[in-house]
Structure 1
Amino acid sequence: MQFAPLYPILYPILKRTFPNCLWSGSPQRKAIALTFDDGPHPKYTPQLLQVLDRYNITASFFWLGACVKAAPTVAREVYQQGHWIGLHGYHHRSFPLLKPDALKESLEKTQDAICQACQFEPKHIRDVRPPNGLFTPQTLKLLHQWQYRPVMWSVVPEDWVSPGVEVVVRRVIQQVRNGSLIVLHDGYHGGEDVAQTTNRLIPQLLQQGYKFVTIEELSTF
């Protein structure tokens, strides 16, 4: 069963209930953020980078530490091309299932893997997106305590179940608004279509007058 039709209903409810997460940008500006979860992938992410480079678009990537370890060269290429980097945990495990020590270790290990792969000095990567979009008030309390910023979404076309490029593109176009935070996937689930999907989406959204920004830029509007 696909839950894509429910996300536009859930989003405004969750945004009101948990205002300390970043759900979207300003509704007064035609700025949107294109984000990608579950990578980097040795095949799908380089294909995606070619598309982003073709249109001169800067995106945001939320990485799994294990995938960074498996594809450090790809991670470094993403970073060197100027894309924004966030954390998605070391493995794709829902944060509420982890004890606080295990959650903290997962985030720190992912950050260390990114620093090693991208060859920059260790620093605090602030943005975190919980796998599956699942969290509890306690999860958010811990993330804020550790000085992380929870980053969520406003457009989720459910590409990880591979409904087809046309379906994903249509869902995004129908849901996108000023300030939208769009989630796609360049990992092992959904990533096989990500380059083609993105190549179809970007020109349509540009034609509608949207400007693509990173998570950091979106949060300042």
Structure 2
Amino acid sequence: MENKYIALTFDDGPNTVTTPQVLEMLNKHNVTGSFFLVGDNINEESAKVARECFEYGCEICNHSRTHSAMPQQTSEEIKAEIEYTNDKIKQITGGVAPKFFRPPYIALCDSMYDDIPLTFICGNGAEDWLDEISAEERSKRIIAQAQNGMIILLHDMEGNFRTVQALDTIIPELKRQGYTFVTVSDLFAKCNVTPRKRVIYSNVLTD
């Protein structure tokens, strides 16, 4: 049987409420993930949480500074957003710079590829920023979409406890189906894919 790899990713942290709960769930199931941080959410306390994620073995990635729709921003504003959050992340990781960027709202324009020297990541999600979607429904949606090489897009924004609950179903079920959970960097490596420019990836094998 072929090895199957999949990456859990979490947007909009870090915070001191939900981010630790997500990390606890990853630890419970002995898997890793990748966190896409918003620069303005990084403060002294939340940075400690992000550092715990990094030290556990998770990857830390860039999700802008202000979570603004970048097609409406100037080139200078976009670069400033990326550089600010890159610097914050390097403070968390002891100098390890992020390799990956997820555009806020997945809002994209061609010039962003010129302004942002990172690999662009999207992912398959479950609309888990909507309170009305139950943990059970979130689990069903992710499990139904699972494919080798896929990036799962979830959110660890403050108070998003239904996604924490959903992980308790998603992870064991996809493990049962033969998936190994890896970071985004390891997903590219395990699938023998070199990230390309001017591509936004939801599945490293098909995009």
Which TM-score band (shorter chain)? 0.7 to 0.9
RMSD across aligned positions (CA):
1.6
Mapped pair 1:132 → 2:101: no
Consecutive unaligned residues in structure 2, runs of 5 or more = 192-207
TM-score (ref. length: structure 1): 0.80
Of 181, 184, 200, which aligns to 1:215?
184
Instruction: Tell me which residue corresponds to 1:67.
Output: 41
Q: Which letter maps to 1:211?
A: T
User: How far off is 1:119 after superposition?
Assistant: 5.5
Q: Which letter maps to 1:102?
A: E
Mapped pair 1:58 → 2:27: no
Q: Which letter maps to 1:114?
A: I
What secondary structure does 1:160 align onto? coil
User: How far off is 1:217 after superposition?
Assistant: 1.1
CA distance in 2, matches of 1:53, 1:164: 23
Mapped pair 1:191 → 2:160: yes
| 8 Å CA contact 1:36, 1:60 repeated in 2 | yes
CA distance in 2, matches of 1:104, 1:81: 30
Alignment of 1:45-194 (within 5 A): 45-69=19-43, 71-116=46-91, 118=92, 120-121=94-95, 123-143=96-116, 147-153=117-123, 155-162=124-131, 163-188=133-158, 191-194=160-163
The 4+ residue runs of structure 1 with deviation greater than 6 A are none
User: How far off is 1:54 after superposition?
Assistant: 1.1
Instruction: Tell me which residue corresponds to 1:32.
Output: 6
TM-score (ref. length: structure 2): 0.85
User: How far off is 1:112 after superposition?
Assistant: 1.5
| 8 Å CA contact 1:44, 1:194 repeated in 2 | no
CA distance in 2, matches of 1:196, 1:141: 39
> Which structure: greater helix fraction?
1
User: How far off is 1:95 after superposition?
Assistant: 1.6
User: How far off is 1:192 after superposition?
Assistant: 2.6
CA deviations over 1:133-189 (Å, ceiling 9, x no partner): 11011112322xxx3111121x2111011211011111111111111110000013x
What secondary structure does 2:129 align onto? helix
Consecutive unaligned residues in structure 1, runs of 5 or more = 1-27
| 8 Å CA contact 2:9, 2:33 repeated in 1 | yes
> Which structure: greater strand fraction?
2
Q: Which letter maps to 1:198?
A: L
User: How far off is 1:80 after superposition?
Assistant: 1.2
Report the CA distance shift for 1:193/1:109 in structure 2 as closer, same or farther (over 3 A). same
